[in-house]
Amino acid sequence: MTHQASRAATETETIVYVCPMHPEVRQNGPGNCPKCGMHLVPEADAAAHAAHDHHAHDHHAGVAPMDGR
């Protein structure tokens, strides 16, 4: 194995995955949250999502009302 391949394998093994809804759930490697079943995401991705301003845009823009109006 080359040095670069060895380093890539080591970096992959040390990525900590967390649940977006339960950040206390942490493990080395992908999987599902034991509390809610969501896919675990790399900790860096979860941190980027948490820093996103959810109030800056409207998730319901262009969505028709449930009552068909």
pLDDT digits (tens, 9 = 90+) for 57-66: 565 666 666 7
Question: Of residues 48 and 44, which shows the higher confidence score?
Answer: 44
Segment 38-54 mean pLDDT: 80
The predicted structure's pLDDT at residue 47: 74
Q: Give a yes or no: residue 40 inside a domain.
A: yes
Q: Give a yes or no: residue 20 inside a domain.
A: yes
Phi, psi of 30 (to 5 degrees): -70, 165
Q: Give a yes or no: residue 57 inside a domain.
A: no
Q: Give a yes or no: residue 59 inside a domain.
A: no
State both tokens at 34.
């034991």
Residue 44 belongs to domain spanning: 3-49
The predicted structure's pLDDT at residue 36: 97
Model confidence pTM above 0.75: no
Phi, psi of 21 (to 5 degrees): -95, -25
Number of structural domains in the chain:
1
The predicted structure's pLDDT at residue 1: 55
